[in-house]
Structure 1
């Protein structure tokens, strides 16, 4: 077993600004050596799903707006910065940026958390299309969709850190 502090230092940010998920997975005895993306993801997702709705909402709210003010101010986590850049969100035209800003505001007003999508393998047009479709979802449907996207983002981040397993 890896040391608790080392595990949390390495994997505490896999779920955006939510180290409690890594802490709970470790403390529940769900972490086994050798560490693999599949094993650590399963453990962390288990704890994320056990968390109350308020805690899961807090995890959703920890995510930045896509192409939003944190990106402009250079205040994204390194993972979020690389993910958004990989999708071209750091190279939007003024018109595209305005569209993202409008959608971000409408989405957050409707659902109470930012639009979350695993952007790896997507481009800005794919993301805008998903944005425009998902904004029509019910609150319950979108909460579930956003949680599933958070889990996918965590998996992709773990794949960058660990062997797949």
Structure 2
């Protein structure tokens, strides 16, 4: 059991959103038994990453598909999760010029058409220009490289979220 969590339900309620809309990862981490360092962001991250990495490709694809587009329609409509809203705002994606917004839409559409999942990048601390440059650099990758890059970015996002939540 993790500090302060005497039930699976409480643990999943607190950490089920660390991987976007994927509480099954927290549930599997709990079921596997949490390590003694699970009260720290890095320790809990390792416990959560294990079932994510052990999951089938289809399950990991489901996690990728749960992520919103950067500067996309959900953001415009205010329908992102609180974490995604804060992360995108920290990078200034809520302040795109019309030209930047159009570029994001074009890249989002091209990327999803090519790979079948949204472009994922841990944007906290990056500028819009850096995000666009990263986007443009990755859209021509092969599918396996991009799947690996996207899953690594999902893991990074989870770590950053946990560092906000835990000491």
Per the shorter chain, which TM-score range? over 0.9
Q: Distance in 2 between matches of 1:136 and 1:155?
A: 27
Residues 78-115 of structure 1 deviation map (CA, whole Å, 9 limit, x = unaligned): 00000000000000011110000000000000000000
How high is the TM-score relative to the length of structure 1?
0.96
- The alignment covers a number of residue pairs equal to 163
Normalising by structure 2, report the TM-score: 0.95
> Residues 70-149 of structure 1: matches in 2 within 5 Å?
70-149=74-153
Taking the aligned partners of 1:152 and 1:34, their CA distance within structure 2 comes to 17
- Mapped partners of 1:130, 1:34: distance in 2: 32
Higher RCO by CA contacts (8 Å cutoff, separation 6 or greater): 1
- Which runs of structure 1 show a deviation greater than 6 angstroms over 4 or more consecutive aligned residues? none
How far apart, CA to CA, are the structure 1 residues paired with 2:38 and 2:100? 44
Q: What does residue 155 of structure 1 align with?
A: 159
Deviation per residue, 1:61-83 (Å, 9 max, x gap): 00000000100110000000000
Are the structure 2 counterparts of residues 109 and 34 from structure 1 closer, same or farther at C-alpha, using a change threshold of 3 Å?
closer
Q: How large is the RMSD of aligned CA atoms in angstroms?
A: 1.0
